[in-house]
Amino acid sequence: MTRIADWPAAAQWLALIGGGLLAGYGLQALQLPAGLMLGPLILGAVLGMKGATVRVPGLAYQLAQGIAGCLIALHIEPEVLGRVAELWPVLLIFVVLTFVAACATGAIAAVWTGIDREVSVWGFLPGMAGTMIAISHDRGLDSRMVAFIQILRLMVVIASMVVAAMLLVGPAAQPASGASAPDALSGLASLGIACLGVIAARWLPAIPAGASLVPLTVAAGLGVSGISLAMPGWLLAAGFLGLGLQIGLRFTPDLIRTGLAALPALLAACLLLIALCGVSGVFLSWIAGVDLMSGLLATVP
């Protein structure tokens, strides 16, 4: 049987891109958060350990980081900022508490598993998993292990929130049909802003994580100013494909063995983090006067 390493580069890319998109959309159909990234990541890891020799070009990876930055910015709404302005001292305290809980859990997990402390902390940091993985890679850390821990954290968080929602809210309502798709102009504008990240990464190295931070800042500023942007499905899939393949292709059998050996301790650490943030969410719902589920979702890592 022909080894993947013997395949022409074009055939390897065809398998990675086609298979990565299929895997990503498959996980998205299962409503798994970041499924579009996790699918290519898993496929990249499998093919990488089987001998794939191609790697994601730096330019494509930087563009993918810029797309991730734009995606984060799209969730920053003026109405939300107004509510945040009213409660900012309280919210700031709980943001710090969530961050401290994540850092403490990462440090504890490092002691339990022997994994590098900074790698472990980045693995438990809340937020977009793709962005955390990308920033850790920029810092020169083992982003493969960060990705392993982030994926595990995501799975535990998802399972916990599903159980919490079933107990506190009940069955989910079906989304309304007829929602309008992003227009092409807004999608191209988002792509253009993501390209600013490539420029920042190449010519403004003093900006930390500039490939994602610059597009995030620009897109957020435009959104707050009333200029509507959008993230079409094709652009989101392309960005997550680049992020997932970049990390997945760097997985090795030794790394997988290390991750599996540390799995029980990492699972225990994930549950510890969920418990700490759950207590924080209960207090937030009481202090801010919101329902318990909203408080939990606001502090979930």
pTM > 0.75: no
Rounded Cα distance between 106 and 215, Å, is: 28
Whole-angstrom CA distances from 284 to 73, 80, 158, 294 are 24, 16, 20, 9
pLDDT bucket at 173, cuts 50 / 70 / 90:
very low
Residue 243 contacts residue 65 (beta carbons within 8 Å): yes
Nearest Cα neighbor of 3 from 45, 52, 46, 44 is 52
In the numeric block, the tokens 């563009």 are attached to 63
**Structure tokens belonging to residue 120:** 């472990």
Percent of the chain at pLDDT above 90? 26
> Which tens digit of pLDDT belongs to each residue from 247-299?
788 777 877 888 888 889 999 999 999 999 888 888 888 887 767 777 777 77
Whole-angstrom CA distances from 143 to 149, 151, 232 are 10, 12, 27
Mean pLDDT rounded to a whole number for the chain: 82
> Residue 258: helix, strand or coil by DSSP?
helix
In the numeric block, the tokens 């961050």 are attached to 99
